[in-house]
Amino acid sequence: MKVFGVGLGAAIMIDVLIVRMVVVPAVMTLLGDRAWWLPSRLERLLPRLELERDEAPAERERRRPPRPLGPPVPADAREG
């Protein structure tokens, strides 16, 4: 039973130290804004939740930025 406990502890440490602290941030950096993109089918299904109602729905739609249509751009090629 001790071997199982040591193996489980090692697996958790590998997950925390390598996967969650190295791999996930690296992938998020590579994906850039695409990491936060919501598919249009899911966007239509989910309700819109807002904390403040300071403008009309038509105004919100007009201010919404267009979605990226091209392929993902590498992080080092972006401006800024």
Amino acid identity at 4? F
Where residue 3 falls among pLDDT bands split at 50, 70, 90?
A: very high
What pLDDT score does 9 carry? 95
What pLDDT score does 53 carry? 65
Comparison of pLDDT for 63 and 2, the residue scoring more = 2
Give Cα 39 to chain centroid, integer Å: 12
Alpha-carbon dihedral 52, 59, 64, 25, rounded to 10 degrees: -10
- H helical segments located in 1-80: 2-14, 24-31, 40-45, 57-63
Comparison of pLDDT for 40 and 9, the residue scoring more = 9
pTM, entire model: 0.43
Tens of pLDDT, residue by residue over 13-64, are 999 999 889 899 999 999 998 888 888 888 888 888 877 766 566 666 666 6
